[in-house]
């Protein structure tokens, strides 16, 4: 079976670095689903406005040439324990397919791009191909009181984000609120622990540069219009 994109996703992230490792972790993170010309039909979305959430089936387009293995090291376990790839949400999968649940913020009908679905809480890079979308139905998709493997015993450890006043003035407050939610999840690779190292993360066309010392992440500089 051959599948082709029905749409592409547009987000503030132009590279993989910094993208939340799961959908829904940063609720204020906004993005857009823009359909390919042959799928820009308002009829195809008829009824979607009655749902709060949808599922996106998409492709890890930046990992196509990456090595695949039967086991991976989940960041949730500190990168020190191997688990089977099919027991994880690893992006390094045989068919490079991802699945994300996102909140529908609005459906805009435009002359240039047809219907555009604005969503929040996505974990996708800008330009990611979307192969299908389906409405989230709580009666079928929500299962209460179930086991979630190692995710039950391993908590998300967040960082305290420190943004000096002179740096904070570079971006508007609403953008900092979203950025702080992204940064507190610790974008660094799990094996990095150098408090002197400065990391750069591309977000919304700016280069966000930061250090991490213990449980504190400090934003040291923002370079507008830069790409990491």
Q: Which tens digit of pLDDT belongs to each residue from 3-31?
A: 999 999 999 999 989 999 899 999 999 99
Half-sphere exposure of 129 (CA within 13 A, CB side): 13
Range in 33-37, 83-87, 149-153 the model is least confident about: 149-153
Check pLDDT > 70 for residue 226. no
Mean pLDDT of the 33-44 span: 96
Q: Name, in order, each residue with C-beta under 8 angstroms of 93's C-beta and a sequence gap of 6 or more.
A: 60, 68, 85
* Cβ-contact 83, 71 below 8 angstroms: yes
Percentage of the chain beyond pLDDT 90 is 76
Domain boundaries, the chain: 7-141, 160-223
Domain 160-223 in CATH 3.40.630.10? The answer is: no
CA distance 74 to 67: 16
CA distance 40 to 212: 44
7-141 and 160-223 share one fold? no
Residue of 155 and 57 predicted with greater confidence: 57
- Cα-only R_g, the chain: 19
pLDDT digits (tens, 9 = 90+) for 140-198: 999 999 999 988 877 778 999 999 999 999 999 989 999 999 999 999 887 778 999 99
> Is this model's pTM higher than 0.75 or not?
yes
pLDDT of residue 227: 52
pLDDT digits (tens, 9 = 90+) for 104-123: 999 999 999 999 999 999 99
CATH architecture of the region 7-141: Beta Barrel (2.40)
Taking phi over 0 as left and psi of -120 to 50 as alpha, with beta for the rest, 198 belongs to: beta
Q: Residue 214: pLDDT band by 50, 70, 90 thresholds?
A: very high
Q: Residue 47: pLDDT band by 50, 70, 90 thresholds?
A: very high
pLDDT of residue 192: 79
């Amino acid at each position: 079976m051959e599948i082709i994109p029905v749409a592409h996703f547009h987000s503030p992230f132009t590279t993989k670095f910094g993208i939340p490792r799961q959908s829904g972790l940063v609720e204020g993170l906004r993005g857009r689903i823009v359909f390919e010309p042959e799928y820009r039909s308002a009829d195809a979305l008829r009824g979607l406005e009655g749902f709060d959430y949808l599922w996106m089936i998409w492709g890890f387009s930046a990992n196509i040439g990456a090595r695949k293995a039967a086991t991976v090291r989940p960041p949730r376990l500190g990168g020190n324990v191997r688990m089977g790839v099919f027991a994880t949400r690893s992006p390094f999968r045989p068919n490079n397919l991802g699945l994300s649940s996102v909140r529908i913020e609005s459906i805009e009908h435009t002359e240039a791009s047809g219907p555009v679905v604005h969503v929040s809480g996505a974990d996708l890079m800008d330009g990611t191909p979307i192969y299908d979308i389906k409405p989230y139905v709580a009666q079928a998709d929500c299962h209460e009181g179930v086991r979630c493997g190692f995710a039950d015993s391993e908590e998300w450890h967040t960082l305290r984000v420190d943004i000096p006043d002179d740096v904070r003035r570079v971006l508007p407050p609403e953008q900092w609120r979203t950025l702080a939610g992204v940064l507190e999840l610790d974008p660094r690779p799990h094996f990095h622990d150098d408090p002197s190292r400065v990391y750069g993360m591309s977000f919304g066309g700016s280069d966000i540069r930061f250090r991490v010392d213990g449980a504190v992440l400090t934003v040291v500089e923002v370079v507008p219009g830069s790409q990491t």
